[in-house]
Structures are given as structure tokens and as C-alpha cells.
Chain A
Amino acid sequence: MNFFLETLVSGLSAGVMYSLVAIGFVLIYKASGVFNFAQGSMLLFASLTFVTLVEKGAPFGVALGTTALVMILGAILIERLVLRPLVNRDALTLFMATLGLSFVIEGLAQLLMGSDVHMLDLGIDDLPVSVGGLMISQFDLFASGAALALVAVLSIVFNKTRMGISLRAVADDTLAAQSIGIRLPAIWRIVWSVAGIVALAAGLIWGARQGVQYSLSLVTLKALPVLIIGGFSSIAGAIVGGLLVGATESLADIYIGPLVQGSVSTWFAYILAVVFLLVRPAGLFGDRAIERV
């Protein structure tokens, strides 16, 4: 039983890390209706900037603050150079633009910071501690704590500030928000900045686990099933979807893996996503597309 629980918990904590990535997608999807393919590149860029600064001798806090500033600056540039010229184009055009953007960001990262693999040490050991009889990695606990804090801050910003009303208004109905004079460019700058900072948080945690390297931008691919399962437009969905993917794939690896004599976790999430697409295409928490005919 303990073995089952430990597998479950380690799966859930992997799920938290997927959720961290997925939240960045949800933020941008809600505010601008676009699947931001560049989220993975932003994550890579953030962690690479951070690790480069640390290696240059910057203290932790300075490196963190500088990287956050770089991400905000990036958001302002993206709004000005990519989003504004494409305003009111359809979602597919914007998606293609973010696809291009991901190449630009990765190219810039390589140009400015090289393509070496970096170690990233956040000062938290990946050693198990005993929690109520279960062995749980300290690092997993830290990652979960970071995710919780992030979600708490986001929900305060969205629900308790006046700016949050504008943000939710844009997410609810972009055209209506424009028509009552909410300034879309300002909202986009804010949302992309927040998504950049979420990418930084996710990048640090993923980077600490896997090393900061180019394949980090591929975590995008793991976020996709999470988003399909949880729904593209819900932060709660991103969290539940992440947990579900993490837990099921690690359980499947243990219990189904031996039957098929191979690793299950590499593909299980995608199969789950396909099932969801068939049964509940909007995901668990997403808005069902209702169109009047």
C-alpha cells in the first residue's frame, strides 16, 4: 500500500511541475485566445538567463529580479512587435506567429548565452524525507509549495484587484471589453509579463531537475495533454489536469509497464488526452463552445 501511495505522490508532484508549465499557457489563452507555442521557449529563455547570471556571479535575488525584468521587457516587445500588428486576426494566424516567435526566442537564447548544458542548483536537495510514513522528495515538496504560492498570487491578482476585473473582462469577451474602452494592449502586456514570470518559476524548477538545456523547451509537449484534459481556459483545469497526468502516468508506468514491457509514461498522457478529446473535448474545466446557429 505504501508503495502505491509513494508512486501516487511522486506522480502528483511531477504533475505539479506540468501544471506550472500549463498555467502559463492558460493565462495567455484566456486573455488573447491564442495557444502560445512560444511558452516553452520563454521558459527556456528565463531559466537560461537566470543560470547565466548566477554563473557570472550574481547573487540569487539579483539574478531572479533581473530575469523577471527581462521577461517583462520581452512581454512589452512581443506585444508591440507581434501582437499589435496582428490585432483582430484569427487565432490560427496568431498561433503561427507564436510558432515563429518560439524560434526567435530560442535563436536569441543561443546567440546570447550559448548552447551549453548548465547545472542549476536552487539549494534544495532532491532527497526524500518522511512525511506521515511516506518518503517524499524535499524538492517535490518545494516545487508543490512554489506552485501553490504562484496560484494563490494569481488568484488574488485576478479576483481581488481592479485590474483583475479588466483582465477577466478581456478573457470573458474581448470585443465587449474593447468596446467599453478597456485598453487591450495594456492588458496583453500585463498578461504576457505574468506568463513570462510563470515561465521563469517553471523554468527554475524544471531546470533544477533536468539541467538547463535546449530540450527544456520541449516541456511544452507535456503541457499539451494537461491542457486538453483540464481545459485551455481554466487555471484550476491546468492544476487538476497536471495532477491527473502526473499521477496516472506514474501509476501506469508501475502497473501497466511490466505488461507491455516498456515505459508507459512517455505516451500515456497523450492516450489520455485523446480519450478526453473523444469524450469531453472542452476538458474538465474548459468552456464548452456554444454557438448560436
Chain B
Amino acid sequence: MADALLRLHDVSLAFKGITALNRLSFDVERGEICALIGPNGAGKSSLLNVINGVYRANTGDIVFDGVRFERIHPLKAADLGIGRTFQHNALFGRLTVIENVLAGLARHGRANFLENIFRLGRDRAERRSFTTRAHRIIAFLELDPHIETVVSTLPYGLQKRVDLARALVADPKLLLLDEPMAGMNQDEKAEMSHFVSDVNEKLGTTVVLIEHDVGIVMDLADHVVVLDYGRKVGDGTPDEVRNNPDVIAAYLGTVH
């Protein structure tokens, strides 16, 4: 377990007395797809929010890529290489696909306001490299035909893929996906899960994702962590988790 990209140790989080995460510890290996599953309210989204600094954990610490921190600012998390997508669409509906993806690089720009406006100095090189990066990722996710399309006019499945492209364009080491397949039909889910596994294999991005569809999770993930009421009830390969009696009691066996 020497090569964990992300290591959580004893992480707890409470909101006004309600425990969202209860002394949680697990590792995410470099290059794996780790799925977080659990019933609604189990603390999955809270956990992602702790990892990328939206919430501050009450106890415990997080080691990302060899750097230990208790609280990280979301901007800093992004700079360290943690990218994420959102459960509820957070795309810019009135902007085109390419503009949305370019916006994902905005915080990496070093050219200042005047350089930007007059296209001088650092702006030229940045503009070129950013555009190349954006086009590459758009091609990778097969969004080319829609590159100049205004995002709000795209079907939902494609919008989710634009969200993925926007997170990926900054070249994150760790990609957090909050229910990337929520609200999709089976075909869209299969397509999305194909892209996630492509990203993982071909770009080498480590992925932590939340997903409710257990069938999809078992196929896609290398590693599954099961949460229930903020506690970890299972942690292992999909097969181990499937046969874990605690998991079956907490989640797999119940009807939702």
C-alpha cells in the first residue's frame, strides 16, 4: 500500500451534531477506479467535499500525493491536481462546449488582464496551449461534433460528458465524479462508464466516483468502498464487497 495517491485517516465530519462521516479511513491507489457506494445520506458527497476542500473535517487527516493536510482550500486542491464534476449540473448553459472546457483552465492562466485583452506576452502562448489541450480532451471524449454548440441545447448525457471534459482538461491526478450517471438511461450509462474507464486507462487518471447503480459499479471499479451512516461498512474489490455480509445488510440487500 505504499503507492496510495489518496490516503484518508480517521476522518470525521459533523454538521451541528449530525455525524456525516464517522472515523473513516481508506486508501485510493494510484491509477485505480474507486467507487463509493451507500444509501442516500450515507456521507458520500460529504466525503468528496472534504477531499476537495469544500468542507473541513472535524478530525483526521488526508494525505494526497505525499502531502498531508487537514484542511485544503478548493482552489489549492485544484492546483494540486484534484478535479471534480458535480451531481447537479454546474455547466455554463449559455456558453459553447469549447468555452466551457476552456473555462476549466481559467485558473491556470498566468497572463494578466491587459495581456488578455491585447493578446500580448504570455497570452499568446497560453491561448495556443489551452486551445490545444481543450481540443485534445474534446476529441478524446468524442465531443467534436458539438464543439461550437451551446451547452444548454445538448442532451443531458452529452452535458454530463462536457462536465467531465471541463474537469479533465486541467489534467488532474485525481478525478472526483459525483454521480456522473445520475438520471441517465442504460445506454447513456454504458457510454459514460466506457468513457470513465477510457480516461482511467489511457490518461492514467485516478478516479473516485459515486454511483448508485451497483451493476455499473461492479463492472467499472477496481475498488469499492461502502458507506452507511457515515461509517465504512465495506472496503475491497467488487467481489469482496459483494460477499461481505455487513454490506449486504446495509445496502445490497435493501430495496430502494
A168–B104 CB distance below 8 A: no
A183–B75 CB distance below 8 A: yes
Per the bound structure, the CA–CA distance linking A22 and B19 in Å amounts to 50
A contact face: mostly helix, strand, loop, or mixed = helix
Selected from B90, B91, B94, B111, the residue in CB contact (under 8 A) with A168 is B94
A residues within 8 A CB of B127?
Answer: 162
Selected from B75, B90, B103, B116, the residue in CB contact (under 8 A) with A175 is B90
B116–A172 CB distance below 8 A: no
B residues within 8 A CB of A130?
Answer: none
Per the bound structure, the CA–CA distance linking A163 and B130 in Å amounts to 13
A176–B109 CB distance below 8 A: no
Task: Specify the chain A residue showing the minimal Cβ separation from B103.
Answer: A169
Tell me, yes or no, whether B247 is within 8 Å of chain A by CB.
Answer: no
Task: Specify the chain A residue showing the minimal Cβ separation from B96.
Answer: A165
B90–A162 CB distance below 8 A: no
Selected from B93, B113, B130, the residue in CB contact (under 8 A) with A172 is B93
A181–B107 CB distance below 8 A: yes
A153 to chain B, nearest CB (A): 9
A residues within 8 A CB of B218?
Answer: none
A250 to chain B, nearest CB (A): 35
Q: Given A157-B117, A161-B116, A163-B117, A182 and B103 touching (CB < 8 A)?
A: yes
Contact with B along A149-186 (1 / 0, CB 8 A): 00000000100011101101100110111011111000
Task: Specify the chain A residue showing the minimal Cβ separation from B79.
Answer: A181
- From 81 to 128 in chain B, residues with beta carbon under 8 angstroms from any chain A beta carbon are 86, 90-95, 99-100, 102-104, 106-107, 109, 111, 113, 116-117, 119, 123, 126-127
Tell me, yes or no, whether A190 is within 8 Å of chain B by CB.
Answer: yes
Q: Given A161-B116, A162-B109, A169-B103, A177 and B92 touching (CB < 8 A)?
A: yes
Per the bound structure, the CA–CA distance linking A85 and B34 in Å amounts to 39
A176–B91 CB distance below 8 A: yes
B86–A169 CB distance below 8 A: no
B9 to chain A, nearest CB (A): 26
Per the bound structure, the CA–CA distance linking A177 and B95 in Å amounts to 12
Selected from A157, A161, A166, A183, the residue in CB contact (under 8 A) with B103 is A166
B103–A179 CB distance below 8 A: no
B90–A165 CB distance below 8 A: no
Per the bound structure, the CA–CA distance linking A169 and B95 in Å amounts to 7
A168–B95 CB distance below 8 A: yes
A residues within 8 A CB of B130?
Answer: 162
A173–B102 CB distance below 8 A: no
A residues within 8 A CB of B57?
Answer: none
A residues within 8 A CB of B109?
Answer: 162
B126 to chain A, nearest CB (A): 8
B180 to chain A, nearest CB (A): 15
Q: Given A166-B106, A180-B104, A181-B75, A173 and B117 touching (CB < 8 A)?
A: no
Tell me, yes or no, whether B166 is within 8 Å of chain A by CB.
Answer: yes
Between B91, B93, B106, B113, the greatest number of chain A beta carbons within 10 A of the residue's beta carbon is seen for B106
Per the bound structure, the CA–CA distance linking A157 and B167 in Å amounts to 25
A180–B90 CB distance below 8 A: yes
B151 to chain A, nearest CB (A): 9
A198 to chain B, nearest CB (A): 15
B171 to chain A, nearest CB (A): 13
A residues within 8 A CB of B123?
Answer: 162
A167 to chain B, nearest CB (A): 10
Selected from B106, B113, B117, the residue in CB contact (under 8 A) with A182 is B106
Contact with A along B68-81 (1 / 0, CB 8 A): 00000011001000
Q: Given A165-B103, A175-B90, A180 and B75 touching (CB < 8 A)?
A: no
A177–B103 CB distance below 8 A: yes
B45 to chain A, nearest CB (A): 13
B51 to chain A, nearest CB (A): 14
A residues within 8 A CB of B100?
Answer: 169
A residues within 8 A CB of B99?
Answer: 165, 168-169
B residues within 8 A CB of A172?
Answer: 92-95
- From 179 to 199 in chain B, residues with beta carbon under 8 angstroms from any chain A beta carbon are none
Per the bound structure, the CA–CA distance linking A166 and B113 in Å amounts to 11
Pairs A-B, 6 closest by C-beta atoms: A176-B90, A181-B107, A172-B92, A163-B116, A181-B78, A169-B103
The residues of B with any CB-CB pair to A shorter than 8 Å are 74-75, 78, 86, 90-95, 99-100, 102-104, 106-107, 109, 111, 113, 116-117, 119, 123, 126-127, 130, 166-167
The residues of A with any CB-CB pair to B shorter than 8 Å are 157, 161-163, 165-166, 168-169, 172-173, 175-177, 179-183, 190
Can you list 15 A-B pairs with a CB-CB distance of less than 8 A?
Answer: A162-B109, A163-B113, A165-B95, A165-B102, A165-B106, A168-B92, A168-B95, A169-B100, A169-B106, A173-B92, A176-B86, A177-B92, A180-B78, A181-B75, A183-B75
